[in-house]
Structures are given as C-alpha cells and as structure tokens.
Amino acid sequence: MADLNVRVEGRAGRITLTRPRALNAMTYDMCMAIDTILHLWREEEQVALVVINAEGDKAFCAGGDIAELYDTGTKGDFAYGRNFWRDEYRMNAMLADFPKPVVSLMQGFTMGGGVGIGCHGSHRIVDDSSRIAMPECGIGLVPDVGGSYLLARAPGHLGTYLGITAARMDAGDAIHAGFADHYVPRDRWADLTELLEASGDVSHVSRLAQSPPAGAMAPHLDAIDRLFKAPALSGILADLRSDGSAFSQGALKTMSRNSPLSMACAVETIQRLRRDGPAMRAALDLEFRFTWRAMEHGDFLEGIRAAIIDKDRNPRWQFADLDVPDSAVERMLAPLGADALTFQD
C-alpha cells in the first residue's frame, strides 16, 4: 500500500512508514496491514527478526490519523472509532508478544499511535532527534496503545507525570523511562539495518549502541517523584499548587490545557496497573474502556475540534474547574461486558 513499504530483505521483515508529509501518522489501513504481515511473519522461517522504521527526518510516527474518527463521531457513528481502537490495540498486543525480535528506529516525533508501533518491540532505538510523548490528554483521550503499560512501569512517579503533562522525552529520558532501549547515532542506522538484514542477528544492536546523553528531565526527577505521587488527580493538583516552584507552576500551566476527565482517568489507570502489576493486555483493556466511551461521554470530539478542526485552542472541557468526581472516573473505566476488548485472532 502507498503508506507502507512492506518487504523481506535477507533475514529481516521490513516495515517502513512512508507518509513523511503527514509525519507518518497511522491510518486504520496501515494498522490492519501491519497486523496482517505480523501474522504471516510469525510463521515465516526466512524472517528472523522485524525492523520497523519510517521515512523523513521529522517523525517516526506522530500519532494516529484522527480526521476520520472526528468525522464519523460528530455524525453519531461511534462504531468506526471503536473498531479502529479495538483492532489497533490487538496489533499493539501482537507486537508486544511477538515471538521474534522487533527492532524499531524512532527518529523525530514518536507520539500516541507511534508509541504503539515503536515502543513495544524488543529493541527500541533512539537518536539525538528523538522526541517521544503521550499527548492524549490534550485531545480528550488517555494514554493508550499500551502507553499506560509503559507509564506504569516507569521508575518512581515519572509515568504519571508523563501521562498527564505530555512532556516530551529525549533519547536519554526515553531510555530512563522505559520507552526505548538503545541509543544509536543516526549515521549508523543504515549500517545497522544492513547487518540485521544480512545476518538476522539482533545482537548487532547492542554492539553499535552507545551510552545515551543525559536526559533533559534528569534534574527534575526528584521533584516529579515528590509532586506526582498522589493516587488521584486532586492530590497531585494540591501538591503542585502548594509547592510554588517554577517546575510545579510550569506543570500546572501545561495541565490546564488538558482534559480534566482524561487526566483523572489516566492517573487512575496508571494507579490500577501499578497496584496489580503492570501487564500489557490489562492496560489495553483499561484503555479500551475509556476510548470506547470517549466520543459519546468523554471530551475526545471537543478536543479534536479545538486542536485540529477549528484550531482555536480553546476546548470546552467537562469539569473545567479541575474538580473531577470519582463517579465520572468510574463510569469511564467501568467494564464493558460483551463489548470488552478481546485478543483472539
């Protein structure tokens, strides 16, 4: 298909995203094509490993292509979005459980849906240009595509901070937070890919990897652990407001632009996963409970209107006073019964 270049080169299954002008945003068709080829390559003896990369310098994948989601949702058709998320999450789970090494080369922006295809493989590579983030709360969603699983596994309370502020991680931050594994300078990526194709031996990744530069978040990690430790959004806001530091005030300003309902649900999702022991499929199940309801009961359509359609950057969020009742969180994360996410092929 036009948006993907899928082929086998030597011992490597190759998936290249080819929408650089759209920052390689993930469409439904791209998602399903990746799902299909991964099913085939699981059983293909010639394919010893999978390499996922993208054209262009600006982005590996800056998120999902949400125009169709908005168009259908505003017409009262919630089924399209629910099917999209259901199939995307199944593909994310397959990547996380894939029986062969999966190498991702993530330059530039890797956000939202890009995290779902780039950050669940076995060998996740970043460079100096890499900027990884989960910005979903800014458009009325929660960190999804398995992002909540990664956030729940991040050290300290860094995951909660990343999930509700959408802070961008550089290479060092991403490795520290568990969104990436290896720092390889960009000028070595072509050499590495050739070695992987010729040998099918994923150990070439660690041989070419270098120590990453210190992450920009490193000076703030103690403050993050202190200010984002509360188990609910209300407690985090109280701690930030009482702190008075430049860091806390900056975090509050960023959070003021996000959906309060989404942030409250993101904190609760991360808390549940941390309490129960983070598991990818449990994370996807919780995420799907929210996204299944996001158009009808959440802020998603309003978030897209303000950010993408009208571009007024003035969303009319529910609970704009940041006082989100527990009942609203419980409703968004309640089990879906017969509509629950399943992972059968």
Name the active-site residue from 112, 113, 118, 303.
Answer: 113
Residue from 144, 197, 285, 287 carrying the catalytic annotation: 144
CA distance 343 to 333: 19
Domains and CATH numbers, the chain: 4-133+170-208 (3.90.226.10), 218-339 (no CATH)
Predicted structure pTM score: 0.97
The pLDDT of residue 259 is 98
Q: How far apart are CA 324 and CA 283, in angstroms?
A: 22
Does the annotation mark 113 as catalytic?
Answer: yes
Burial of 345 (0-12, 13-18, 19+ CB in 10 A): exposed
Burial class of residue 1 in the structure, from the number of CB atoms within 10 Å of its CB (0-12 exposed, 13-18 middle, 19+ buried): exposed
Q: How far is CA 261 from CA 160, 161, 233, 264, in A?
A: 15, 16, 9, 5
Handedness of CA 51, 206, 133, 308 (dihedral sign): negative
200 noted as active-site residue: no
Which one from 13, 63, 64, 298 is the annotated catalytic residue? 64
Asked if 170 and 137 touch (Cβ cutoff 8 Å), the reply is no
Distance, in Å, from the CA atom of 58 to the CA atom of 72, rounded to the nearest integer, reads 29
C-beta neighbour count of 246 within 10 angstroms: 8
Question: Tens-of-pLDDT digits for all 345 residues of the chain?
Answer: 789 999 999 999 999 999 999 999 999 999 999 999 999 999 999 999 999 999 999 999 999 888 889 999 999 999 999 999 999 999 999 999 999 999 999 999 999 999 999 999 999 999 999 999 999 999 999 999 999 999 999 999 999 999 999 999 999 999 999 999 999 999 999 999 999 999 999 999 999 999 999 999 999 999 999 999 999 999 999 999 999 899 999 999 999 999 999 999 999 999 999 999 999 999 999 999 999 999 999 999 999 999 999 999 999 999 999 999 999 999 999 999 999 999 976
pLDDT at 331: 98
Please, are residues 278 and 153 in contact by the beta-carbon 8 Å criterion? yes
Q: Parallel, antiparallel, or unpaired for β 49-54 and 4-9?
A: unpaired
CB 203 within 8 A of CB 239: no
pLDDT confidence of residue 88: 97
Q: Going by C-beta distance under 8 Å and a sequence separation of 6 or more, which residues neighbour residue 282? A: 149, 273, 276
Q: Render the burial of 185-223: b for 16+ CB within 10 Å, e for the rest.
A: eeeebeebbebbbeebebebbeebbeebeebebeebbeb
Q: 161: closest CA among 98, 96, 81, 222?
A: 222
Query: Tokens 């017969």 correspond to what residue?
Result: 338
Residue 255 near residue 266 (C-beta atoms within 8 A): no
DSSP assignment letter at 215: P
Positive or negative, the Cα torsion across 341, 144, 305, 161?
positive
In this prediction, residue 307 carries a pLDDT of: 93
Q: Mark whether 277 is an active-site residue.
A: no
Q: Which pLDDT belongs to residue 67?
A: 84
Q: Starting from the edge strand earliest in sequence, which strands make up the sheet with 182-183, in order?
A: 4-9, 12-17, 49-54, 102-106, 123-126, 182-183
- The reported pLDDT for the residue numbered 64 is 86
Beta bridge pairs of residue 61: 110
Active-site residue (options: 65, 88, 127, 136): 136
**Contacting residues for 249 by C-beta, under 8 A, at least 6 apart:** 240
Nearest to 6 by CA among 156, 117, 112, 84: 117
The residues with which 135 forms a beta bridge, in sequence order, are none
Residue 345's pLDDT is 64
